[in-house]
A and B are shown apart, each in its own frame.
Chain A
């Protein structure tokens, strides 16, 4: 599980963890039923307070993203969350906001941006063949 903590962006560390784990689950990089690292292990790996990791896991459990099984650890929830679609939108919207902000800075209008996205997508498709 690859997680990066940044102290520059002002987001509390526990929330960065929550967001990134949600993202890993939504994108399938953490599979259903996969076990998350133990609190202590992740804390040591990321060099953050164990309580911060515990808090992130609690929030993820409340949101139904993970389930904690007493004595055996924390696992990605097998059930498909009803929020899944909304969650995916949320994640993409964050990226879109950043894109739009830069587009405005560089004097692109929305048509230009949409056209660029379409072109990139074509490039990707060709690249994947």
Chain B
């Protein structure tokens, strides 16, 4: 796969009793904004750590920019920009010292661009990292992740806990990075509206398993949300074939289908119910439907 910048094959990982990643196969196409979504503990960070070479694949393989990130970390990391979720930085350093320190690792560090980013992010480079607010820390982290114009930008939960202004800076940086011919962004997030806005590919992880990995548009087109009016009110949720989630009460239900709506439509006409509406669900609705276990089947109408 020459057009993939990341190629993960049958990757599994266990931490003590927990299966953190279970047979994950994933390709990140060159030039894409690739959104990795999943609940806390779904395995997103573990997956990203394998890509960065911070964890060695115990089963399966990971190739990044046609290299093995564990065998050749310096070569891989010099071409990657990374913003970690925890944003550990040496807090005794001033921003300018930290930038200088980071620049020494990257032969391609662009001082002019870094200076532009300092202005854009309104940073005072004489300030100590210890004294920075959350938002300023995120901006410094972002600056050092993109100032060497990496081929691949990896962001682990870049927006979590940040105000809308800083979130916007981060998303704009993602867009700017990918708009530069051929650069790729891989980011994890649990803010699905954000992912839906900026991604062109999306992968869903749940309990270490990959639920899907497809172009966003395909994911949205494949799923559909239907409003159904039942012939009479029910107290227990009916089990409707062809649906992956179902909620509502009384006579009106909202269901989500994953390509198998003909079965649902058949059920609806057979039991005298009525379809009121069909719509495209949001990525968030799809995600919730996919990861929430189906209602225990109690009885059908």
State the A residues within 8 Å of B (CB).
Answer: 5, 7-8, 10-13, 39-40, 43-44, 47-52
A47's nearest neighbour on chain B, judged by CB, is B171
Whether A7 lies near B193 (C-beta < 8 A) is: yes
- A13 CA to B279 CA in the complex, in Å? 14
Residues of A within 8 A of B217 (CB): 12
Contacts of A52 in B (CB 8 A): 200
Task: Give the distance to chain A from B164, nearest Cβ to Cβ, in Å.
Answer: 11
Please provide the chain B residues from 174 to 233 with a CB less than 8 Å away from any CB of chain A in the complex.
175-176, 178-179, 193, 196-200, 217, 220, 225
Contacts of B172 in A (CB 8 A): 44, 47
Taken together as a complex, chains A and B put the C-alpha atoms of A50 and B198 apart, in Å, by 8
Question: Do A43 and B282 touch (CB < 8 A)?
Answer: no
> Closest Cβ of chain A: how far from B33's Cβ, in Å?
6
Q: Which residues of chain B come closer than 8 Å to A51, judged between CB atoms?
A: 200
On whether the beta carbons of B175 and A44 are closer than 8 Å, the reply is yes
Q: Are B282 and A7 in contact (CB under 8 A)?
A: yes
Contact check: which of B168, B171, B175, B196 meets A50 at CB < 8 Å? B175
B249: interface (CB < 8 Å): no
Cross-chain contact B198 with A48 (CB below 8 angstroms):
yes
Asked if residues B197 and A50 are in contact (CB atoms below 8 Å), the reply is no
| Contact residues in A for B178 (Cβ distance below 8 Å) | 49-50
- What residues of A have a CB within 8 angstroms of the CB of B196 in the complex? 7
**Would you give the 0/1 interface string for B250-271, flagging 1 where the beta carbon is closer than 8 Å to chain A?**
0000000000000000000000
Which 3 A-B pairs rank lowest in CB-CB distance, beginning with the nearest?
A: A10-B280, A40-B179, A10-B279
Task: From known contacts A7-B193, A44-B175, infer whether A49 and B199 are also in contact, taking CB-CB under 8 Å.
Answer: yes
Q: How far is the CA of A51 from the CA of B175 in the complex (A)?
A: 10
Determine whether B281 belongs to the interface, using a CB cutoff of 8 Å to chain A: yes
User: What would 19 A/B residue contacts be, using CB atoms closer than 8 Å?
Assistant: A7-B193, A7-B196, A7-B197, A7-B282, A8-B282, A10-B281, A11-B280, A12-B280, A13-B197, A40-B176, A44-B176, A47-B171, A47-B172, A48-B175, A49-B178, A49-B199, A49-B200, A50-B178, A50-B179
A48–B198 Cα distance when bound, in Å, is: 5
Minimum Cβ distance to chain B for residue A39 (Å): 7
- A10: B residues at CB distance < 8 A: 225, 279-282
B197 with A39: CB separation less than 8 A: no
- Report chain A residues within 8 Å CB of B33: 49
Contact A47 B179 (CB under 8 A): no
Complex: A11 Cα to B132 Cα, angstroms:
40
Write the nearest CB–CB distance from A129 to chain B, whole angstroms: 43
Q: Distance (Å) between the CB of A45 and the closest chain B CB?
A: 9
| B259-301 interface with A by 8 A CB criterion | 279-282
